[in-house]
Amino acid sequence: MKAYDIVIAGGAMAGATAALALDTLSGGTLRIAVVEAMVPDHREHPGYDARSIALAQGSCAAFASLGLWESLAPFGTPIQHIHVSDRGHAGQTHIDAQSQGVAYLGQVIELADAGAVLHQKLQHREAIDVFCPDAVMAIERTPAAVTVRLKQGQSLTASLLIAADGGRSSCCQQLNIPRQQHDFGQVAVIANVSTALPHQGHAFERFTQTGPVALLPMSQGRCSLVWCMTAEQAQGLMQVSDDAFLHRLQQVFGWRLGKLLHVGERHAYPLTLNQVVRPVSHRVAVVGNAAQSLHPIAGQGFNLGLRDVMTLAHTLTEAASRGDDIGAMPTLMAYAKQRTPDRDATVALTSGLVHLFSNDSPLLAGARNAGLGLMSALESIKQPLVQRTIGWVEPR
């Protein structure tokens, strides 16, 4: 049996970042094991598939604080402007980097590229062992430790298990950690799209009768599409030709980027709010999508998860430096207490936007358009949304 300070189940974005943050902040004094089921530089990895992720400016700063952004930056496409509008109505608002005094509002990076960078970093840290391909098959907790048995036969023991194994977390299922779920009744159709006009760093979020449509700037002049709709509508759109798909998207999105020229492979993901009731349990902390999977309406999911990871890494390394038990409930509850306000506010924001902008009520349509108009005119009204969009949320 191998002994560690921390075992991390899941080596995709959240798990890999947690391991690297803990190693960096502790100066390599914590022994860490990362257990990952699939080699993350493979494009079929569910955490590193054709999807892109929008890293808020605050998330890029967090990666920079860990010495990681320099390696990730070449794969990023800066977001300089965000345009928010409501189809069929006049209300709209703009957010731009220059007016906020930042170089960019965020960066769009393909998960496959980010995964390859982080996985390579893990291989070069002496205090981190990576078990890949492997998986946690059984978990046993005692008052003083947690032991996991791996699929390949090895057993690992540690003071703490960090569950970072995705929205369908096997660890949470094995431990019967209670969850809350809400089905938004929507599916996200995701693809990469080429446009006739260059995006010039513009990101678009357009609210329609079926749900939001987002186009995010990507490398090579492409845009990353997230198009939310009912399951029935998604099923139909997944089956039509590329030309028919682009024609329908053009009708919904408009001509701000000129003619839509090409669409890549399409993927469809059901949208639910899926969160653990409490992100800590005896000898266990839950982070990333395992802790909460959000609607993509405001691009908050990974950015919230990264703030969880950073706070947990700081809490654990500070506890370790004091000689405290890093897996004890007082340490874990201190972490959970710090994260509750941000977590609750972000979940409320995304869920509220979904219900506000996916409703055809004339009263609500008037209210949200008035709101968008006020945001455009009054910086004080827009600023709370801007701060969360940019990621200016204190992560500790």
pLDDT for residue 272: 81
Which band of pLDDT confidence, cut at 50, 70 and 90, is reported for residue 34? very high
Are the beta carbons of 252 and 206 closer than 8 angstroms?
Answer: yes
pLDDT for residue 49: 44
Strand 77-79 versus strand 212-217 pairing type: unpaired
pLDDT for residue 270: 86
What is residue 37's DSSP assignment? Answer: S
Strand 292-293 versus strand 280-281 pairing type: unpaired
Q: Please check whether residue 192 lies inside any domain of the structure.
A: no
Q: Please check whether residue 385 lies inside any domain of the structure.
A: no
Return the CATH number at 328. Answer: 3.50.50.60
Q: What is the mean pLDDT of residues 285-291?
A: 94
The three-class DSSP label of residue 372 is helix
pLDDT for residue 210: 75
Q: Examine the pLDDT at 196 and tell me if it is beyond 80.
A: yes
Q: Please check whether residue 278 lies inside any domain of the structure.
A: yes
pLDDT for residue 145: 98
Q: Please check whether residue 15 lies inside any domain of the structure.
A: yes
The total of structural domains in the chain comes to: 1
pLDDT digits (tens, 9 = 90+) for 37-94: 987 554 555 554 467 888 988 899 999 999 999 999 999 999 999 888 765 444 567 7
Q: Examine the pLDDT at 174 and tell me if it is beyond 80.
A: yes
Q: Please check whether residue 307 lies inside any domain of the structure.
A: yes
Distance CA 31, CA 4 (A): 5
pLDDT digits (tens, 9 = 90+) for 326-356: 999 999 999 999 999 988 888 777 765 655 5
Residue 109 sits at the vertex; the CA angle it makes with 108 and 110, to the nearest 5 degrees, is: 130
Q: Examine the pLDDT at 359 and tell me if it is beyond 80.
A: no
pLDDT digits (tens, 9 = 90+) for 238-255: 999 999 999 999 999 999
Q: Please check whether residue 87 lies inside any domain of the structure.
A: no
pLDDT for residue 391: 60
pLDDT digits (tens, 9 = 90+) for 209-236: 777 888 999 988 899 998 988 999 999 9
Q: Examine the pLDDT at 295 and tell me if it is beyond 70.
A: no
Q: Please check whether residue 37 lies inside any domain of the structure.
A: yes
Q: What is the mean pLDDT of residues 171-179?
A: 96
pLDDT for residue 137: 98
Are the beta carbons of 268 and 159 closer than 8 angstroms?
Answer: no
pLDDT for residue 347: 76
Distance CA 221, CA 201 (A): 10
pLDDT for residue 371: 42
Q: Give me the DSSP letters along 95-143.
A: EEHHHHTSS-SEEEEEHHHHHHHHHHHHHT-TTEEEE-S--EEEEEE-S
Burial string for 370-392 (b: 16+ CB within 10 Å, else e) reads: ebbbebbeeeeebeebbebbbbe
Phi and psi at residue 394, to the nearest 5° = -55, 115
Q: Please check whether residue 95 lies inside any domain of the structure.
A: no
- Global pTM reads 0.88
pLDDT for residue 366: 44
pLDDT digits (tens, 9 = 90+) for 123-158: 999 999 999 999 999 999 999 999 999 999 999 999
pLDDT for residue 76: 96
Which band of pLDDT confidence, cut at 50, 70 and 90, is reported for residue 365? very low
Domain that holds residue 165: 2-59+108-180+273-359
